[in-house]
Amino acid sequence: MKVAYWYNNKDIRVEEVPTPTPGPKEMLVKIISCGICGSDVVEWYRLPRAPLVQGHEIGAQVVKVGDSVKKFNPGDRVFIAPKVPCGKCFYCQNGHYPQCSEIRERLPGGFAEYILVPETIVESGTYLLPEHITYDQSTFIEPLACVVRAQRMAGVKKEDSVLVIGCGMSGLLHVKLARSKGCKVIAADLNKMKLQFAANIGAAAVIDATGNIRDRLIAETGKNADVVLLCASADSALEQAWSCVDKGGVIVLFAVPAPDRRVVVPVNDFWMKEITILTSYYCGPSDIAEAIKLIDSGNIAVDDLITHRLALDDIVQGFQLVSDSRESIKVIIKPQKKSIA
């Protein structure tokens, strides 16, 4: 079978390796669709573990199950979470599933023709896809679950004014989810194509982030935003976020700068205004269930965000598209697809 080993964004090697055989409590799945996440191209985050097989936004078909696996059968269509919290540790008991201290197994990366799903993830991290969710749509389940969690933590509610800074795939999912809650959503980005996407999916206003976001925000809404969702990692985006949150408001750091960047928080100003700063990383089982429900019901449409579908042999092109980000929203790798190159 073919597997894509990532060394860096420009060095990804598609190699032949033996197809694994599942043990009694494991199963072998065929990867049909796997999205390239924005975090996949963040080299400071991934390089310490390179070379590795990336890909955690997975839609797959069960091929073979171990003798002890009773929940799934060959032919089943599944979404598989990249890791599963224990549900019992201090962090899980307090709702911080992404911070679970007992996670031992992770799903092998999905940029491969087949993967072996370990026992823990077979048991607690594999979900049958509803009939109306396609494999391509299933690649949105994990990122949408992360968005669901972030907005829940921020307390986003009907009639809130929500500013989304950064209109990549995650930012646009934030726009869609906040709109579905009845919020007035304003979207900001440097990229005109992405701003047009945001306008098309219901943003009340779009702002070119090359200028002063706050001035345009005030002009559009008459006030700062109740919730600011930061989905861009640039220093300038962070500085704009600080200036755009209203008194009593919330800033969610959904994306963060590189670890060598110094971040200055206007603590004195925020103290007077009772500003809440939250970070949001990954999602929990309930968020995944909610994301599946939102996609299955059609409340959150995702097909319009897919801009590219590529074969595994063309994965370098996919990473270039996501890294550059000017001409793509959602790039999906199709390991069973033949390259047209």
Q: Supply the CATH classification number for the domain 151-279.
A: 3.40.50.720
Domain boundaries, given as residue ranges, for the chain = 2-140+302-334, 151-279
Pairing of strands 330-334, 306-311: parallel
Q: Supply the CATH classification number for the domain 2-140+302-334.
A: 3.90.180.10
pTM confidence score:
0.96
Give pLDDT < 70 ranges for the chain. 340-341
Q: Which residues are within 8 A (CB) of 130 and not within 5 positions of it... i.e. 6 or more apart?
A: 292, 296
Q: What is the pLDDT of residue 339?
A: 80
Q: What is the pLDDT of residue 338?
A: 87
Predicted confidence (pLDDT) per residue in 157-212, tens digit: 999 999 999 999 999 999 999 999 999 999 999 999 999 999 999 999 999 999 89
Task: Look at residues 106, 102, 104, 82 and name the one whose alpha carbon lies nearest to residue 92.
Answer: 102
